[in-house]
Amino acid sequence: MPEQNKKKIWTLYALNHRIGNRLKQSFPESYWVTAEISEMTVNSNGHCYLELIEKEHEAEPIIARSRAIIWAYTFRMLRPYFETTTGRPLSPGIKIMILAEITFHEVYGLSLIVKDIEPGFTIGDMALRRQKIIRQLKEEGIFDMNRRLTLPMVPQDIAIISSEKAAGLQDFIRHLSGDSHHYRFCWKLFPAMMQGKEAEPTIINALEEINIRSDDFDVVVIIRGGGARTDLSAFDQYRLAAHIAQFPLPVITGIGHEKDESVTDLVARTNLKTPTAVAQFLIDRIEEFEIRMLETITAINELVHRNLVLQQQDLKKAAYFLQTAIIHKISDAERILHQHHYHFRVSIAQYLRNKMQKINQLRTEIKQTTPAGIHITQEHLISLKTKFHYIVNLNLEGQKHRTELLQKSIDLLNPANTLKRGYSITRRNNKVIRQAVSLRPGDILITEFEKGKKKSKVI
């Protein structure tokens, strides 16, 4: 124990205080540091607390972590400067370059006190990330899938993705409804956040809901009204861009500003700057279709009119030629008819002369017929009559003999005569039984004799 009494014992505060002094002596200057913001909190006093991390690659584990603080008076100057220059908010997930002073507090430990920030570094990193997303979409072959879709000629059924309270949504609907052409549009809102951390997942959810009912809509419209340039970061994310690029309906965006074009804008079928511009685009599309239809109708009317004029001219020519041809045909027919009339009269006269000649010949032949010839004919007829009576009587005798033979055969086949000879007839259900094998136990039989009938049962 004596040796232990000689050792110097430090309190935790004293040790941390000495570490702080040594760090201040070893790192008296401020240092430019690059890192990624992992977490960010702004308290009620306006101080900003950051957790900074570093990875060798995005998907790999963290290799360094540190706490950083931007005091309120510094944060009030750095934040608008950074967001105005980069066009996006100071938020988790972005990489920054800061000028930091190293401090070690007895209670809170090691911290970096941020003195300045270089937005150019973040802009470069954002550009690299943006290009990486675009390159990945192209390598996967989906970058221009939605851009290749054909817009409907008359896009009237619209699925809208926007915030319910967005001023841009009201501008969009007001512009569609106030169209001087009075075109009819049917739309349905699928609410989503248009900024912040929830923007990307809620927009994707809205797209998935629309996809289930894709047959009900012609196009999808994604719009946001107003807002700062810093609110566009959600539209530069890979997952959202990939969903839009592969969506089966044409997507029209109206989310940006005059100088900004997000990855979402690049993969969409059509991108416009404002919700009002999107509404006007849809109106113009239908108006263009209407104009083309009117031009087509006018062209058809003109073509029909020209054809009618030509047809009328052709009909007049055809009527003239037809009239001339009919006159010629009638003249030819009259001439031929006169010829046929003449030949008919000549033929009838000749025919009548021939008939009169034959009648006269018959008349002469009748007068020349002698009474002796008539007598011979009468005797011939009497002879034929006698022969006819003989043949008829002979046939009747033959038929009578055959009839008697048939009657005898019928009498022999009569069942009554068969029964007289000692035979009997057995029936089942009024049907004659010819084979014993057809009988079954229980069958009721009727047996008929010459005199009387008896009923029996097969056992």
Most confident segment among 106-115, 187-196, 334-343, 427-436:
187-196
Q: What is the pLDDT of residue 72?
A: 92
What distance in Å separates the CA atoms of residue 430 and residue 130, rounded to the nearest whole number? 104
Q: What backbone torsions phi and psi does residue 314 show, to the nearest 5 degrees?
A: -65, -40
* Mean pLDDT, all residues of the chain: 83
* Beta strand 48-55 pairing with 270-272: unpaired
Q: Could you tell me the fold of the domain covering 143-289? A: Rossmann fold (3.40.50)
More confident residue, 239 or 23: 239
Segment 156-170, tens digit of pLDDT: 899 999 988 888 888
Paired tokens of 62: 């963290």
341-372: per-residue pLDDT in tens?
788 788 887 888 888 888 888 877 777 665 66
Provide the 10 A C-beta neighbour count for residue 128.
11
Tokens of 241: 């861009």
pLDDT value for 232 = 72
Angle at 453 between CA 452 and CA 454, to 5 degrees: 135
Q: Which of 109, 76, 82 is nearest to 95 (CA)?
A: 82
pLDDT of residue 327: 85
Walk across the sheet containing 251-254 and list its strands: 186-191, 157-162, 219-223, 251-254, 270-272
Render pLDDT for 281-330 as a digit per residue (tens, 0 to 9).
Answer: 999 998 888 888 888 888 899 889 888 988 888 888 888 888 888 888 88
The contacts of residue 84 (CB under 8 Å, 6+ apart) are 229
Instruction: For the chain, give the percent of residues with pLDDT over 90.
Output: 20
Which residues, 6 or more positions from 115, have their beta carbon under 8 angstroms from its beta carbon? 30, 74, 98, 99, 100, 101
Size of the chain, expressed as the number of residues it contains? 459
In this predicted structure, what is the pLDDT of residue 242?
Answer: 93
Burial bucket for residue 207 (CB in 10 Å: 0-12, 13-18, 19+): buried
Q: What is the pLDDT averaged over residues 177-202?
A: 85
Contacts (Cβ under 8 Å, ≥6 apart) of 195: 224, 227, 231, 234
| pLDDT top residue among 214 and 6 | 214
Work out the number of other CB atoms within 10 angstroms of the CB of residue 48. 20
C-alpha distance from residue 256 to each of 60, 93, 166, 235, 260 (Å): 33, 21, 14, 9, 6
- Fold classification of 12-138 (topology level): OB fold (Dihydrolipoamide Acetyltransferase, E2P) (2.40.50)
- pTM, to two decimals: 0.52
State the pLDDT at residue 202: 94
pLDDT at 1: 45
Residue 78 near residue 114, CB atoms below 8 Å: yes
What is the CB-side half-sphere exposure of residue 417 using CA atoms within 13 A? 7
| Nearest of 281, 288, 285, 247 to residue 267 by alpha carbon | 247
Determine the pLDDT at residue 335: 84
Domain segments of the chain as ranges: 12-138, 143-289, 418-457
* Range scoring the smallest mean pLDDT among 15-19, 254-258, 368-372: 368-372
DSSP assigned state of 151:
P
* E-state strands within 331-443: 425-428, 431-432
**Percentage of the chain modeled with pLDDT above 70:** 90
- Per-residue tokens: 100: 């930091």
State the Cα–Cα distance between residues 256 and 99, nearest whole angstrom. 32
Residue 259's pLDDT is 58
Give yes or no for residue 132 having a pLDDT over 50: yes
For the segment 375-429, what is each residue's pLDDT rounded down to a tens digit? 776 777 777 777 767 777 777 777 777 777 777 777 666 676 767 777 788 888 8
> Residue range 174-190: average pLDDT?
84
Least confident of 50-59, 255-264, 316-325, 370-379: 370-379
